[in-house]
Amino acid sequence: MARQKKKRFEEIVERDIVIEPGKDVYREIKGKWREKVFKNNNGITLEIACGRGEYTTGLAAEFPNRNFIGIDVKGDRIWYGSSVAEENGLDNVAFLRTKVHDLELFFEENEVEEIWIVHPDPRPKTRDAKRRLTSQRFLDIYKSISKENALIRFKTDNYSLFEYSLEVIKRNGIKDLEYTFDLDQSSLKEDHFGIETRYEKIFKEKGCLINYLKFRFDNA
């Protein structure tokens, strides 16, 4: 297993679509994603804690005229997503290897038009609340890098995390909030284009309902 992981790390070093420590572009990319990576002026969507990048690559295939960036700290996970992107010729995909709380080091204000947070670690212990990716700390980061009217989407099988997230989000200046506690039985299901993560499939097989919400920051 260690040998396989090492091989994957070596492979992503050679992939231009993977921005990670050790590459010159890692510290030069802020505000320059379109110039240095995508070579276009299309809008940017982020998948936060992207894991294997199912949404990054799945949405990129659906929307070839938009740019998609998967964010994760684990190089082994990024290897999967970047492999799918290369195998399918998705030139509107990139991956950034970093911690989510460092996003402001890599994106300018008003640089991002959409953010997906898909099945993050629920961090169930009360003392870990500030580490939840829908905590106020992270919402402030998302807002700081987002364009006016940027769309934020959140999906989880964890009901407690979803309730917590709704409570925090509603304390912010937001608009256009829509949500469901059962995505598969909701009209909002169409938002997802049939894309599911590996873990989502496991949760659903166990009978878990999928919770989903979307909203925009009200910058008025």
The secondary element (H helix, E strand) that includes residue 47 is: strand 44-48
Give CA–CA dist 154/119, Å, rounded.
8
What's the CA gap between 116 and 152, in Å, rounded? 6
Is the separation of the CB atoms in 81 and 120 below 8 Å?
Answer: no
Q: Is 24 known to be catalytic? A: no
Of 96, 84, 9, give the one whose Cα is nearest residue 44: 96
Q: Active-site residue among 72, 76, 102, 121?
A: 121
Query: 14: which 2 tokens?
Result: 């050679």
22 phi/psi in degrees, rounded to 5? 100, -20
Query: Would you name the residues annotated as active-site residues?
Result: 121
